[in-house]
A and B are shown apart, each in its own frame.
Chain A
Amino acid sequence: MDLSDIQGNILRGYRSFPDACFLFFRVDRSGAGREFLKRLLEKDSITPGQWREKPEVATNIAFTFEGLRALGVPVASLASFPPEFQEGMKSRAALLGDTGECAPNQWDEPWQGSTVHILVTCYARVRETLIGHCSELRRLAPEGVHELVPHQEAGLLFVDGKRTRKEHFGFDDGLSNPDVEGVPDDGGLGDTGNPDEQGNLRKIPVGEFILGYPSEGQELSAMPVPHMFTRNGAYLVVRKLEQHVLRFRDFLRTQTAALRSFPGVKLSGGPRAAEDFLAAKMFGRWPDGSSLDLYPTAGAGDKSNNFNYANDLEGARCPLGAHVRRANPRASLGFGGNIVRRRRLIRRGIAYGDYLPQDVTEANGGGRRGIMFLAFNGSISQQFEFVQQQWMNSGDDFRQGDDADPIAGNRIGDGKMVEPSQPFRRDQNCAGRMVIPGDQRTAREPFLCSGIPRFVTTKGGDYFFAPSLTGIRLMAAGKVYIL
């Protein structure tokens, strides 16, 4: 595997690049678009997976289907890209659960009004260098390539004055990414592989994420043609996800009274013990990153990944429908992990907006915040869309019926068991429900959350292709040929 040909943001976590800016461009003339790429390459702007010296700002690039078309990629090549990539994420909104509040007609700009052609992501080691770097990039864009505004700033959150890796609901994020074969350890926190027959975690073939290599199915994932163009590339799913922190905190508060007097619930100390308990049950980890599987009663500052749910198949410790358990079920679906191994995602998301301190109430809770969700995979339909449809927006695989993920799932009902005489309507703002399983050992009864509002709303995004450096050079030179 040639890490110098694969773009850096795919297999590297960029952990030491805490501030980011996303620039969006539209190509009006294909010649101008190619000129832009040429200039970027001449200046060595695009950061590969293996660098000679660490850049100040790691810069990477990706293209939507419309972007590839605008850059003059031949029709025969375009036609070989998978249908979901050709359609783009906006067209697949209903499938993804982006309805009601999350529908594309509610998205932010530039996502709502345009189709982004080129995404340039800049991750800086030091924030001050970011502004200058982005200006330089903008200057490189010739006449015939224009920027779609506004750009998107993002960065690791400051909580109580300190830089953290928390997301806006207060949870440590990015604790578990796929442990990929052939990738040198990036100093990550113990990335997780896929479970084997014994439930132990083993490395994941790189072909699950990068085109041109064997995947979990022991074959090459489908690669658009020509192969020289697409090899070493990956599909990138970008979703701007707004987080409604006050809604989240308010919901937790409404459940507090019920929880404090609930049979068998033992709350560890602290004034917000009930809220923390419920939040942890919904997430599957404590805010400090400790997994519920290992630490069922309180966080212990242990963010490790030495757990696989194999001894918690009823969900007494970590609910079967909890967020992280849905996103990566590990050994909980049986069959030696065979059912889950094709569904991993490399997540490179980063928060945007300022962290909302705990004492902020409705009146002065201005500003918007969320996460720029970025996920790399070898097949959008088999990986991202599968997880979104089957594990986030449905609970059947987890014995939770139609109950969607409490944090990120869609809402199509009224949060209660729906009688057939009340047909669903996609355009309504609806509520969700979640069952928090009980625990036989402590005699804790199951707790039913209902009327869960939508805490996370989609505000933009699209499906991108992140080519290799070779692929970008071919496009820049106008030399993507099909015989």
Chain B
Amino acid sequence: MADRARNQYGLGKSVTFNVITPMTRVGTCVVRLLLSIFGRFPSTQETAKGLSFLSFVHWVVVQRNAFPRLAADQPKEQLNYDYLFFLSTFNGPWSPYIDAFADVLFKALDAVWFWSIGYPFARPVSALKAYIIRNQVESDHAYCAYPGASVRDVRSALELYGELVRFERETRGLTAAQFEAEFGRLLIRIHNHLGSFGTLPD
């Protein structure tokens, strides 16, 4: 439950998801290169955004000697591997989220996670889920500034707001009858932005 943002009114829609996996030095080089390619070419990002349940995704590579050491009496880590941190925030239950990744983004997932020790490939998906479970770390605290709003709710609100601002500006000089007609057209434009949202019962 600590993985899910909430407030006093109920449970939020934002869930944190953390997977930490070991890599060899070669893996670190390749993954850094691949991720910078994904950063530059938007098609993978477009697909991920098309899934419409991811708020944020962080891929972080932590090399074995890069765990912060801030005092002489803090022991130095002696690790055999570098680590890849996958830290995301998404909406919805965990299992279908992985199904969707495996079905739609398996090439990108495989490319990046191939270099993680023990990674089984994204398909078939049950092996992937077992790997994730082994390497998943639960958050101790998760916060979202708008917990009752899913990714789609946020997008919808921003689009609706844009439409309303435009509408208010463009109807300033109209007659009452013209205004009513434009209002009707506005409603048809924004008809799928009128869903309810909010935190959910505990």
Contacts and interface: CB of A to CB of B under 8 A. Distances in A.
Direct contact of A and B (CB under 8 A): yes
A402 B124 contact: no
Interface stretch (A35-43, A360-368, A436-444): A436-444
Contacts, number: 121
Interface stretch (B21-29, B65-73, B183-191): B183-191
Interface in A388-435: 389-390, 395-396, 399-403, 412-413, 416-418, 420-421, 423-426, 433, 435
A401 B201 contact: no
Given A218-B124, A339-B100, A381 B95 contact: yes
Contacts of A315: 191-192
Interface residues of A, number: 49
A406 to B, nearest CB: 13
B188 A335 contact: no
A446 B194 contact: yes
Contact of A334 (B50, B93, B188): B50
A268 to B, nearest CB: 21
B36 interface: no
B199 to A, nearest CB: 7
A55 interface: no
A470 interface: no
Contact of A424 (B10, B187, B188): B10
Contacts of A445: 184, 187-188, 191
Contact of B191 (A389, A402, A437): A437
Given A390-B92, A420-B9, A426-B201, A438 B196 contact: no
A424 B103 contact: no
Nearest to A342: B99
Contacts of B50: 334-335
B195 interface: yes
Interface residues on B, range: 35 or more
B38 interface: no
B13 to A, nearest CB: 8
A128 interface: no
Contacts of A218: 123-124
Given A399-B152, A401-B153, A420-B148, A338 B104 contact: yes
B90 to A, nearest CB: 12
B150 A396 contact: yes
A219 interface: yes
Interface of A: 217-219, 222, 263-264, 314-315, 320, 334-335, 338-339, 341-342, 381-382, 386, 389-390, 395-396, 399-403, 412-413, 416-418, 420-421, 423-426, 433, 435, 437-440, 443-446, 448
8 contacts: A335-B103, A400-B195, A401-B150, A401-B152, A401-B197, A423-B201, A424-B201, A446-B187
Interface of B: 7-10, 13, 50-51, 91-93, 95-96, 99-100, 102-104, 123-126, 148, 150, 152-153, 156, 184-185, 187-188, 191-201
Given A218-B124, A402-B197, A402-B198, 4 more contacts: A339-B103, A390-B92, A413-B196, A446-B188
